[in-house]
Chains A and B, each alone.
Chain A
Amino acid sequence: ETGVTQSPTHLIKTRGQQVTLRCSSQSGHNTVSWYQQALGQGPQFIFQYYREEENGRGNFPPRFSGLQFPNYSSELNVNALELDDSALYLCASSPGIFKNIQYFGAGTRLSVL
């Protein structure tokens, strides 16, 4: 177990709704990254947060947004859900210096109907 916890485990939403996913990072890790993993594909980088600031973003539209809190936990918000947003959303935490050593949680499986 990595110590990275995500909630909820599963979520079903309808098109146009908004969703918030949550992540608690591993103890001592101040960097959180979010990825989207479609079925049968590798994870795609959404964005990263370091010390409560966005620290890099992948090729995702602005309706994907996030937050990091002082305790380094994080939220991923997705507005105006589309059918293609159905995927496994993964959170990864890493120690500040080695941001590319990333430890993943079990993910939140989002289904958009």
Chain B
Amino acid sequence: SQTIHQWPATLVQPVGSPLSLECTVEGTSNPNLYWYRQAAGRGLQLLFYSVGIGQISSEVPQNLSASRPQDRQFILSSKKLLLSDSGFYLCAWRKADYGYTFGSGTRLTVV
């Protein structure tokens, strides 16, 4: 069966520090992968999506970047975190029947 792993679960980082969040999917090949951010009271905002290795689409201009170095690996990064980067980050992958499966999320607090 397919599973999605996301880590770390929680992270506290100082302003100006770098960020790397990792997401991996098991049990499938060539999935569409997504990064969402959830800010308090603001729902989920699509940040990036990828339809294949090295293919990244950015939905909103921001302080973050994404990479897909392997078929089932999706990484969210920042060179210098801002306070406004705090939030709950969710990785997801899409199944062929249009269902999306989400990871358990990373709670990022920038201090």
Same assembly: no
